[in-house]
Structure 1
Amino acid sequence: MDIRPLDLADAPNLVPAMAALLRSLALEFIVHESTPLGASTFLAENDEMGIRGYLARGHVYHVAFDDGQLAGFISIRDNSHVFHLFVGTPWQRQGLARRLWHAARAAAIARGGDGNFTVNTSNHAVPTYERFGFVRVAPTQCLKGLYFNPMRLCCAED
């Protein structure tokens, strides 16, 4: 497994695969709990154009490849907020999410982050973030028809 920062020169070739992976996983694990409007809004905001926009706004992505195939990715906004963390179904429950998290967290701290992180996660991913040391900071929220759980990690090592 190869985990590396997303090179902006590679982005035009990788963003379509990232958007396709995100869409398939969102349909399976996230948006089925949302309102129809929430689901369509989330999918529209996280399509190829959306991911390109996040890159343009400074989100830092790390990508994981298994024999040249995109296995997962993570993005961090402002060195402190986990914005995306998606791992393809064949690679789930093998520690890839944790490896992506470690790489992204270390890079964010190296860029000046203080080690405090937030995430707004789906119900499905709450246990994963809890294993990383995140704790809920509020009950489940709904914004634009999408349900999420605000969580925080305060300078903890896992």
Structure 2
Amino acid sequence: MRVEAADVSDAEAISALIVELSEPFFLSPSREGAEPFLASISVEAVRRYLSAANFSYYVARSEGRLAGFVALRDNAHLFHLFVAKAFQGRQLASQLWAIAQTEALQAGNPGEFTVNSSLTAVPVYERFGFAREGEVKSVHGISFQPMRLRSGQNGA
């Protein structure tokens, strides 16, 4: 498994992986109301994120195939963390988070991070040391749990 910084050539694979794994996020099976979310994970949107100075993406590849990726926004918000189904259960999410967290700390983050977790991923983020912050939110046709990790709470 190789982990490296992503670039715009990874946009299509990243977008496809998010789309593949996002079904549990939707409030409606028809995805009604989720158009803003869907636009935010389009190939074009991911290209913009990959080109923006305030985003950092790391991809994990196995035999040339995208196994997973992590993205931080503003060196503090865990923007995306996705692992392909074939690679789940192998601690890849933990490895990707550790890389992103280490890079952020080295870039000056004081040890505080946020994430808007899918409801199914809450236990994963709790294992990383994140705590639920407030109630579940339902916005733009999806639900998520805001979470925060404060310095000294690292469970990784």
The normalised TM-score by structure 1 is 0.90
Deviations 1:60-91 (A, max 9, x none): 00100111110000100111100001100011
C-alpha separation in 2, matches of 1:64 and 1:52:
18
Equivalent pair of 2:27/2:143 in contact (CA under 8 Å):
no
Residues 119 and 34 (structure 1), Cα distance of their counterparts in 2 relative to 1, 3 Å cut: farther
C-alpha separation in 2, matches of 1:134 and 1:35:
31
2:140 is aligned to 144
Equivalent pair of 1:61/1:74 in contact (CA under 8 Å):
yes
Identity of aligned residues (%): 39
| 2:39 counterpart of 1:18 | no
Which residue among 42, 49, 52 is the counterpart of 1:47? Answer: 42
Report the Cα offset of residue 143 of structure 1. Answer: 1.7
Which residue among 101, 115, 118 is the counterpart of 1:119? Answer: 115
Residues 82 and 30 (structure 1), Cα distance of their counterparts in 2 relative to 1, 3 Å cut: same
Residue segments in structure 2 that go unaligned for 5+ positions in a row: none
Report the Cα offset of residue 39 of structure 1. Answer: 2.9
2:66 is aligned to 70
Report the Cα offset of residue 35 of structure 1. Answer: 7.4
Equivalent pair of 1:122/1:148 in contact (CA under 8 Å):
yes
RMSD of the alignment, in Å? 1.6
Equivalent pair of 1:34/1:147 in contact (CA under 8 Å):
no
Report the Cα offset of residue 141 of structure 1. Answer: 0.8
Residue segments in structure 1 that go unaligned for 5+ positions in a row: none
The normalised TM-score by structure 2 is 0.91
| Paired residue total | 153
Secondary structure, in 3 states, of the residue corresponding to 2:20? Answer: helix
2:31 is aligned to 36
